[in-house]
Amino acid sequence: MPRPTKHAPERGNARIRLLEAARDIIRAKGFAATSVDDLCKAADVTKGAFFHHFASKEALGVAAADFWAETTSAFFEAAPYHGPTDPLARLLAYVAFRKAIIQGEIAEFTCLVGTLAQETYASAPDIRDACARSIFGHTATLETDIEAARQSRGITADWTAASLARHTQTVIQGAFVLAKAASDPALARESLDHLDRYIRHLFHPAEEDAA
Amino acid sequence: MPRPTKHAPERGNARIRLLEAARDIIRAKGFAATSVDDLCKAADVTKGAFFHHFASKEALGVAAADFWAETTSAFFEAAPYHGPTDPLARLLAYVAFRKAIIQGEIAEFTCLVGTLAQETYASAPDIRDACARSIFGHTATLETDIEAARQSRGITADWTAASLARHTQTVIQGAFVLAKAASDPALARESLDHLDRYIRHLFHPAEEDAA
DNA sequence: ACGCATACCGACCGTATGGTATGTTATTTT
DNA sequence: AAAATAACATACCATACGGTCGGTATGCGT
């Protein structure tokens, strides 16, 4: 009987439960509108536990962005879009995958670090920088495929792999903004279709594509 | 001597000064992090004046989004990109104009209703809807040119003028998110270059463009 | 001159907030 | 087993917040 205590709500994982609560609540309400008490209630921990694990609310923001970076990079590494052997096919599979996971509640498919960066860019530089690390760390995972596709197709146009990788995130982040404004995930998927078409155009400038 | 009162700070325009303060401060700090006192100080009015003009902070949010819609639509109507007679040239001039005005401090060129919608989409539907009216009202001004360009070029691809108009806003909104995360307006301009290239590709599928 | 509406003032209120101080319990170290 | 430490829990605090309220000043129609 290793846990004979009265009601003990699983000691030792309060930190992770707080980070998960932050991930979910901040995406729905924003950082400033999310109170420490909100997070404690959702994570079923006390305020003492919160300030034991995080020096301040701002420190939690940084940790939440880092946590997002870790979990999403693991998620994308395990995602099926790495299947194709051709780098361009992988890139297009990535875009298709990003489109496919835009489903259900808006707060469930949108990006924590995008909203967090937008809200804190001027008032909390350390949170902003953690968000930037997450976003641009993710774009970096696309660059090698883009560069390989560029070279295999002999593309010499005046854009770089890094800039196209960033542009995919631009479209994804913007798609979330429009979806939120209209309360309609379809608007986000629509822009990913344009992104898909753009990428195909970049690599097949002449012919019309047939998936 | 029509105004012999002690120090009277220009009676009658407190409402507009509050809306201007809201426009500037909310873009920098976000809606939730902007207090009513912040706005009153910046607008140099008292709290009494604030709640005389706005029933609540949320009502100010709606009014600020409406004010943004009015001022920006006037701004874009007066902008020089309407010069070209060809509708495609006007569309490209629009994109170039959007790129050209991305300068200076981030809070000065970014979009109020984009950040506001992202922050309030779940918690304040009336603010969100006001933001949506502003965003999609603006996209509507692009649709006629896009549709005219489509027809003059005989484009029959499977995208609509409305969806391309929305996509331009997606790219612009996303560009602001990346610029904020990286504290670098150049990232926003970079994505507008991709948008420009995409539009040219859509309307000149074969040839390489020469401005 | 009078009445009235609009515009504004500034003190005040109840609550929510981020944060702290101190105590208690489990876990690891020695 | 003892000591040290990490992981909580609880009560509390100062302040900041959105909002209210009674009052004042100014312009305008009559």
Q: What is the mean pLDDT of residues A196-204?
A: 95
Q: Give me A98's structure tokens.
A: 């990003």
Q: What is the mean pLDDT of residues A180-196?
A: 98
pLDDT beyond 90 at B206: no
Sign of the four-CA dihedral A96, A196, B189, B87:
negative
Is the complex ipTM more than 0.90? yes
**Structural domain includes residue B114:** yes
Q: What is the mean pLDDT of residues B16-26?
A: 98
Dist CA A94 CA A91 (whole Å): 5
Q: What is the mean pLDDT of residues A22-32?
A: 98
Identify nearest nucleotide to residue A16 by CA to C1′ distance: D7
CA distances from B57 to A26, A202, B39 (A): 20, 47, 10
Number of domains in chain B: 1
pLDDT beyond 90 at A17: yes
**Structural domain includes residue B21:** no
Q: What is the mean pLDDT of residues A167-192?
A: 98
| Nucleic strand C within 7 A of Cβ A7 | no
Identify nearest nucleotide to residue A2 by CA to C1′ distance: C26
pLDDT beyond 70 at A92: yes
Which residue range forms the structural domain that includes residue B150? Answer: 62-203
pLDDT beyond 70 at B123: yes
**Structural domain includes residue A128:** yes
B173 to chain A: nearest residue by CA? A174
pLDDT beyond 80 at A211: no
pLDDT beyond 80 at A5: no
CA distances from A65 to A39, A117, B180 (A): 15, 9, 15
Dist CA B163 CA B134 (whole Å): 16
CATH number of A179's domain: 1.10.357.10
pLDDT for residue B204: 85
**Structural domain includes residue A152:** yes
A171 contacts in B (CB within 8 Å)?
170-171, 174, 191
**Structural domain includes residue B48:** no
Return positions of chain D under 7 A from a protein CB.
7-12, 16-23, 25-27
A128 contacts in B (CB within 8 Å)?
180-181, 183
Work out the percent of chain A whose per-residue pLDDT is above 70. 91
| Nucleic strand C within 7 A of Cβ A58 | yes
Dist CA B98 CA B172 (whole Å): 8
pLDDT beyond 50 at A2: no
pLDDT beyond 80 at A10: no
Q: What is the mean pLDDT of residues A144-153?
A: 96
Contact A172 B173 (CB under 8 A): no
How sure is the predictor about A52, in pLDDT bands with cuts at 50, 70 and 90? Answer: very high
Report pLDDT digits (tens) over B153-165: 999 999 999 999 9
CB < 8 Å & 24+ apart, contacts of B188-194: B188/B102, B189/B99, B189/B102, B190/A163, B190/A166, B190/A167, B191/A166, B191/A167, B191/A170, B191/A171, B192/B95, B192/B98, B192/B99, B192/B102, B193/A159, B193/A163, B193/B99, B194/A159, B194/A163, B194/A164, B194/A167, B194/A170, B194/A198
Return positions of chain C under 7 A from a protein CB.
7-12, 16-23, 25-27
**Structural domain includes residue A13:** no
How sure is the predictor about A4, in pLDDT bands with cuts at 50, 70 and 90? Answer: very low
Smallest Cα distance from A5 to chain B, Å: 39
How sure is the predictor about B205, in pLDDT bands with cuts at 50, 70 and 90? Answer: low
pLDDT beyond 50 at B101: yes
Q: What is the mean pLDDT of residues B4-28?
A: 80
| Nucleic strand D within 7 A of Cβ B163 | no
| Nucleic strand C within 7 A of Cβ B13 | yes
A205 contacts in B (CB within 8 Å)?
201, 206, 208
**Structural domain includes residue B68:** yes
How sure is the predictor about B6, in pLDDT bands with cuts at 50, 70 and 90? Answer: very low
pLDDT beyond 80 at A205: no
Query: Is the CB of residue B147 less than 8 Å from the CB of residue B60?
Result: no
**What is the number of other CB atoms lying within 10 angstroms of the CB of residue A82?**
15
Report which of residues B206 and B118 the model is more confident about: B118
Query: Is the CB of residue A26 less than 8 Å from the CB of residue A112?
Result: yes
How sure is the predictor about A12, in pLDDT bands with cuts at 50, 70 and 90? Answer: confident
Smallest Cα distance from A6 to chain B, Å: 38
**Structural domain includes residue A122:** yes
